[in-house]
Amino acid sequence: MTEGKASGGGRLLTFAAWSVLVLGLWLWGRQITGVPAPVAGQAGGAAAVPGLPAAHAPLAGSLPQRVDVPSIGIQAPVISRGLDADGAIEPPPYGSPGTVGWWGDGTRPGAAGAALMVGHVDTKSKPAVFYGLSSAHPGDKVRVVRADGSVAEFTIEDVRVYERAGFDPHKAYGQRVEGRAELRLVTCGGSYDKTAKEYTANVVVSAYLTGVGVRPGTAA
């Protein structure tokens, strides 16, 4: 596993960094066909990393409302985001740095496929929702509260930093195990290039569905 700390210093997540993400989505959706082959030794219900739990069967699709990563103190509302007029994915509003954006045209978290969530690493004055994302570890839990009252529980299998140079969108965002419900949490990472006014990489946390619960107060 490769880990990297997103640099601080009150910097704003830039369009250039998000454009890398958009390019990845475009290539994934339009130029790459089929599902990547499972990693050697994996099967649909097997854990990607020894010692991690087996995958849970995918759930019916339902809109995400909140995402929690207890190990690093994330508890954030989720909003659907699309593409802007320039073809770039719309990040959460800068005025809502504690909000996570979900790519609304993609997989719904808990359903089969790889769902994608994005968040700012910082603003001009303070850390944002995904500032500590690179501190997550395999085995940590990610819980997504869904509109149908269920809570999809994912287990993190790895945390990687993908440099912009030589970026491989298939590796970063593509489904790893056919038929599995997966989740990607993405933010900026690496170092901040003051000249270019952009981050040099993306932090990508990969997780897969391992359980399902019911939101407190929801009738069974």
If you average pLDDT over residues 5-32, what whole number do you get?
Answer: 47
Beta strands in the chain (DSSP E): 64-69, 74-81, 100-103, 113-118, 141-146, 150-163, 181-193, 198-214
165 band by pLDDT with thresholds 50, 70 and 90: confident
Residue 15 scores a pLDDT above 60 = no
Mean pLDDT of the region 32-50: 42
Q: Say if CB 22 and CB 89 are below 8 A apart.
A: yes
- Write the pLDDT tens digit of every residue in 57-102: 999 999 999 999 999 999 999 999 987 676 556 778 888 999 999 9
pLDDT at 183: 97
Q: How far is CA 54 from CA 42, 66, 75, 135, 162, in A?
A: 10, 24, 25, 23, 26
**pTM across the whole model:** 0.80
Least confident of 51-55, 138-142, 145-149, 214-218: 214-218
Domain residue ranges in the chain: 15-31+52-214
CA distance 76 to 137: 19
Residues 64/144, Cβ–Cβ less than 8 Å: yes
Which CATH fold would you assign to the domain 15-31+52-214?
Sortase; Chain: A; (2.40.260)
